[in-house]
Amino acid sequence: MEEKKKANFGKPLSKEWWSNIWYYHKGAILIGLVFLVIITITVVLFPKQDQLDMAFLYLGDHVFGDDQRASIGSELEEFAVDWNGDGAKTITFASVELNPYMDDDWNSEYTSLVTQLLDSSIVDLYLMDKTCLQYYKEREEWEDLTEYAERYQVPSENLEYNESGKLIGIKIQSLPLFERNGESDVEFYLMLAGIRTVPVKGLESGMHEQNIDLFEYILSEAQF
């Protein structure tokens, strides 16, 4: 009997490989992505809303390992304040990765799903790569960062404005916090949303104020 040939998808993890996987398995991948975002929202963030002291979210194509995220969170416990008074410092560092090899269909689905995450999340401190920044820079919730840019003497070439002229992103070339925890070469834009509406009484002010402190801590040690 003639042996069937296996499909050749190209070198694993190459652009050709990702393109072929996407072409033949688009439906399954999109379903999986839906569940991934749902899990991120409902498991990683929401169950701890009444316990959270600090939370921030990365959107981009850098893949953070679970150990690295946990290590970064542990280091920030030294910096965090138990503002909700439950006797523990609870920090969430979540990330949703964008695959850089996918086509416009993939990116459209990704941005649609992440928009749901942005709309429903309690997070107000964001780290985004250039691609994600371009998708979300015109959202209304971004705070004007002019005061922070002046205070920390951010070079003009590291400032990102939206179409109305508001400074909504500060480019960070490297961050010692990440490098100390095994994550180097992570370039991102730091962004801050206004106070988010969340279904837990009292969360709005305390965690937002602490996330502003974290925002300034990142700027204080960042390399622009």
Is pLDDT above 80 for 85? no
Question: What's the whole-number mean pLDDT along residues 131-156?
Answer: 93
Query: Comparing 15 with 62, which gets the higher pLDDT?
Result: 62
CB 172 within 8 A of CB 99: no
Most confident range, picked from 19-23, 65-69, 213-217: 213-217
Is pLDDT above 60 for 51? yes
Count, residues in the chain:
224
pLDDT by residue (tens digit) across 86-138? Answer: 777 777 787 877 655 555 555 666 667 677 777 766 678 899 999 889 888 99
Residue 222 has φ and ψ, to the nearest 5°, of: -70, 155
Whole-number CA gyration radius for the chain: 19
Give the whole-angstrom CA distance, residue 192 versus residue 175: 17
Look at residue 173 and give its three-state secondary structure: coil
Domain extents in the chain = 15-221
pLDDT of residue 168: 97
CATH class of segment(s) 15-221: alpha beta
Query: Comparing 23 with 151, which gets the higher pLDDT?
Result: 151
Give the whole-angstrom CA distance, residue 82 versus residue 152: 26
CB 184 within 8 A of CB 178: yes
pLDDT of residue 185: 86
Whole-prediction pTM: 0.73
* Model confidence band, residue 52 (pLDDT cutoffs 50, 70, 90): low
